[in-house]
Amino acid sequence: MELKPLITLMAIVNPMAIVPFFIHYTQGFSRDQRRQTVWVSSCSVFVVITVSALLGLQILEFFGISLASFQVGGGMLLLTSALNMLNAQPAEAKPASNDMADGAAKAAQGASIAVVPLTIPLLTGPAAMSTVVIYADKAKTVLQMGTLIGYGLIIALATLLCFSLSTPIARFLGKTGISVMTRLMGLILAALSVEVMSEGLVKLFPVLAGR
């Protein structure tokens, strides 16, 4: 299989562009909690790409969900995150409790954030999943399918590297820089969420496109 699938997926997933979101969602995390979030995110990216390649649309069809509906749902999730970022609110509410319970809650929160929304839909959203499905359909041999899954591993390693560099980036920006960046990226994410939802809505209701 050629390198085009790898280049395309790397451009769509673009882990470097998600670093600001990672910094926002992991504010207040300890080093170990942030490291766990990095690993869970990276592994989740690989799992999503692998599952999309092997099963693809069968999963959506099993639940009776179209890719267009998946886009609308993913866009709504992105919009919710964007509104929180514009208000400089944390990704999820942090419960007030004793130290041990709070540590366990943060660990669970880090794992949750690593999957949603970092992995889905920020890193591997409908565009990435559908791209993997398209290339998986073109894979005619076990070797080609294995190569596609290998590309998923490369992208997961790239995600691991980018997120691991978030600490020096956050240190360089400082609290004020992170606050400004959070609101800016929230605005960009809001626009992106509208774009994702509009594409899905046009597919669901062609009349919206004047067809």
Extents of the domains making up the chain: 4-206
Q: How far apart are CA 106 and CA 104, in angstroms?
A: 5
Q: What pLDDT is stored for residue 153 in this prediction?
A: 97
List C-alpha distances in Å: 58 to 61, 123, 129.
Answer: 5, 21, 12
Maximum average pLDDT range among 1-5, 6-10, 111-115: 6-10
- Say if residue 147's pLDDT is above 70: yes
Give residue 95's pLDDT band: very low, low, confident or very high (50, 70, 90): very low
Q: Residue 41's Cα: distance from chain center in Å?
A: 8
Which residues have C-beta within 8 Å of that of residue 161, sequence separation ≥ 6?
A: 15
List C-alpha distances in Å: 34 to 22, 100, 125, 164, 168.
Answer: 9, 17, 22, 9, 13
Prediction pTM value: 0.71
Q: What pLDDT is stored for residue 211 in this prediction?
A: 58
Give residue 142's pLDDT band: very low, low, confident or very high (50, 70, 90): very high
- Say if residue 107's pLDDT is above 80: no
